[in-house]
Each structure stands twice: as structure tokens, then as C-alpha cells.
Amino acid sequence: MIIGITGGIASGKSTASNYLEDQGYPVVDADKIAKEIVEPNKPTLTQIAEHFGQGMLHEDGSLNREKLGSIVFQNEEARLTLNSIMHPAIRREMLFQADEYLKEGNQIVFLDIPLLFESKLTSIVDQTLLIYVPKEIQLERLMRRNGYSQEEALSRIASQMPINEKKKLANVTIDNSGSKEDLSIQLDKYLSNLRY
């Protein structure tokens, strides 16, 4: 069984993923893969350089994230082009890793995908698990964690699908408004229900 785990910014998705890993479950992390596929000499990086120019690379052949970022954040067409290069490569690698874990005999594999619903990736998982917090808690945690002003934190939250929309789309929702211990207890309960 492949389970997509997602959340909103500062909702505790990474904490949940780390806990699941600590319990011995394989977790495939979309963000880690996104970094790996643009390492020097990887086909995805080559495609980016071919499309956006060799100027997107540092002298050592690594991706100049700042330079690429300045282009794609100002130009919607460039951002869509970058996504059309990155997203299929991320999806392929995630599925490859998940498949390897299943071949090794793991019954359950988690795919940690921050933009699971936004990227319309629900078709690649058997179930979606949302780590949820109400927007007020999300705002408070984000300001505390990143040192953002309220305005900065709100703009980061607004750049994602509203967490209450995600709640409507998820198969299972775990409310992470409490402590880390509360989250662990809820995850344990969820896992025991999955096994039987």
C-alpha cells in the first residue's frame, strides 16, 4: 500500500514523516528527490540547462538556484516550463523508490508530498493522509519557527491550497493542534488500524 502524506506549511508533516521513519516505515520524500535530480550530470539538470541556458549553472556544474529562481518567480511561462521538466522526473523517481521498498517486502510505503493535491498526484497513491492544523495555529507556528512577521507568514500560507480545502480532499486527517506526543499517539492509532 502506498500512502501519500501531506499537509500545509508548518502543519507538522515533516514531524509526522520523521516519526513514521523512526517506526520503521519507508518514507520517500519529494523535496529530497527534487534536490537529488538536479545534481551535476543528472539528466534533469541537463534539460534545465538546455532550456534556460548554461548560465543557470555554477562553474562546478551545479544548479544556480538563485538565478533560476529569479527567472521563474517573475515569469509564469518559465515556471510552468520548469515544472514540466521537474515534476515528471520527481514522480518517476518517487515511484521507482516506492516500488523498490515494496519489492523488499515492505507492506506500507509513505510518499511525503507537500503539494500532493496541488500537483494532482493522488492517482499515484492508494490513500491520502493529511497532517492538519487550523489556520490560526499554522500562522502562529510559522511565525515562531521562521521568525516571519504576520504579513510574511500569511503570504506563505496564501501561496498554498487552503488547509481546509485539503481536509475535504484527504482520505484520513490527523489533527496536529496538540503536542508531539499527541501526534505520535494519533499516528500509532492510524497505523494499527491500517494493519488489521
- How far from each other are the two terminal CA atoms of the chain, in whole angstroms? 13
Domain architecture of the chain: domains with CATH: 1-26+108-196 (3.40.50.300), 37-105 (no CATH)
Task: Determine whether the annotation assigns residue 98 to a binding site.
Answer: no
Task: Determine whether the annotation assigns residue 12 to a binding site.
Answer: yes
Q: What is the pLDDT of residue 73?
A: 79
Residues 6+ apart with CB under 8 A from 150: 139, 143
CA angle at residue 3 from 131 to 187, to 5 degrees? 45
Q: What is the DSSP string of 184-196?
A: HHHHHHHHHHHH-
Q: What is the pLDDT of residue 195?
A: 66
pLDDT digits (tens, 9 = 90+) for 56-77: 999 999 999 989 988 887 888 9
Q: What is the pLDDT of residue 72?
A: 86
Q: pLDDT-derived band of residue 31, with 50, 70 and 90 as boundaries? A: very high
Q: Which of 3-12, 109-118, 143-152, 187-196 has the lowest mean pLDDT?
A: 187-196
Tell me: pLDDT of 196 over 60.
no
Q: What is the pLDDT of residue 103?
A: 97
Task: Determine whether the annotation assigns residue 166 to a binding site.
Answer: no
Tell me: pLDDT of 123 over 60.
yes
Task: Determine whether the annotation assigns residue 158 to a binding site.
Answer: no
**What's the grid cell of residue 88?**
515528471
Q: What is the pLDDT of residue 128?
A: 97
Task: Determine whether the annotation assigns residue 105 to a binding site.
Answer: no
Task: Determine whether the annotation assigns residue 159 to a binding site.
Answer: no
**What's the grid cell of residue 11?**
502543519
Mean pLDDT of 161-176: 95
Residues 6+ apart with CB under 8 A from 79: 72, 73
Report which DSSP code applies to 124.
Answer: G
CA–CA distance from 1 to each of 29, 55, 102 (Å)? Answer: 16, 43, 8
Q: What is the DSSP string of 32-60?
A: HHHHHTTSTT-HHHHHHHHHH-GGGB-TT
Q: Which of 2-11, 14-23, 123-132, 156-165 has the lowest mean pLDDT?
A: 156-165
Place of cell 517573475: 74
Q: What is the pLDDT of residue 70?
A: 86
Mean pLDDT of 76-85: 91
pLDDT digits (tens, 9 = 90+) for 152-166: 899 888 888 999 999
